[in-house]
Amino acid sequence: MLLQTKGMLKKTLLFLFISYFSFAQKLEIGSGLGPTYYKGDLQPTFRVFSPSIGTNAFVRYNASKVISIKANAMVGFVSGNDYNSGNALNKYRGLKFYNTLWDYNGQIEYNFLNFRTHNGRYEHQWTPYLFGGFGNSQFLRRKYSTRNVTTTNSVISGPDPILPFGIGYKKIVNGKWNFGVEFSTRVLLRKKNADLFDGFGYNLVTNDPQNFYPAQDGADKNLELLELPNTLQKDKYFHISFSVSYLFYKVHCPPGK
């Protein structure tokens, strides 16, 4: 009876050992750094040369050669400034904001090429990919200002649900290291904040301009007129991440070598 128990214990430990390394051969961890961007009422067009900065960390599970599942978290700054707009009214209005935030999400990636196989070997050393997912975004600090008045929000609601999606490229540097670059868009899904990310937007009921900026003495008396440049589009923010990741698996030498 004792021998049978020992035998069962050995088989169980062996099974767990094999399962762990099978899983580990597909598991990848990494981090990245890159610019963040904003598009909304203060900057209705994408401005490549007006970036802020953000950093991210992720865990990727390579389920197959074409499908990967990733848990991702990003923290960074997102800002906007009327002076960076091509509209004369925007430039005169002079509004700007500076948000500190973090978000977390789950993503599914589709690799266009057979990037890695189940045993850790690869057929292509690089691949472009598409991804989409779901997550949450949380403001840590929100700062708005006109030419005369500045306010900082100390109480911030959230988290807000987001829909992240985008494109990427990844390349195997050697058997265990990957280099990647990824462009992602975050769409805010909560109606209350979807158009007020920058502190300016439209009332969802009356379709009238509204803002979080303070109407205090010294503020521009023409501020209501200067709400006209606002657009009906929802605010978005973006992140370009240049990343390095490490894959947990043993290198398999090709036959004959």
Longest dimension (CA), the chain: 90
Distances (CA, A) of 147 to 47, 81, 120: 22, 11, 57
252 occurs within a structural domain: no
173 occurs within a structural domain: yes
- Answer with the residue of higher pLDDT: 53 or 86: 53
Q: Determine the average pLDDT of the residues in 26-35.
A: 94
Residue 104's pLDDT band (cuts 50, 70, 90) = very high
Q: Determine the average pLDDT of the residues in 38-43.
A: 86
Alpha carbon distance 24, 93 (integer Å): 55
Segment 180-192, tens digit of pLDDT: 999 999 998 876 6
15 occurs within a structural domain: no
pLDDT at 21: 43
pTM of the complete model: 0.77
CB 34 within 8 A of CB 74: no
CATH of the domain at 71: 2.40.160.20
pLDDT at 149: 65
255 occurs within a structural domain: no
b/e code 223-234 from CB counts within 10 Å (16+ = b) = beebbebbeeeb
How many domains does one find in the chain?
1
7 occurs within a structural domain: no
75-84, 188-197, 200-209: the lowest-pLDDT one: 200-209
143 occurs within a structural domain: yes
Residue 22's pLDDT band (cuts 50, 70, 90) = very low
pLDDT at 145: 79
Q: Determine the average pLDDT of the residues in 32-52.
A: 89
16 occurs within a structural domain: no
Q: Determine the average pLDDT of the residues in 120-128.
A: 76
Give the domain extent around 43: 25-247
Listed in sequence order, the DSSP H helices in 76-231 are 88-93, 191-194
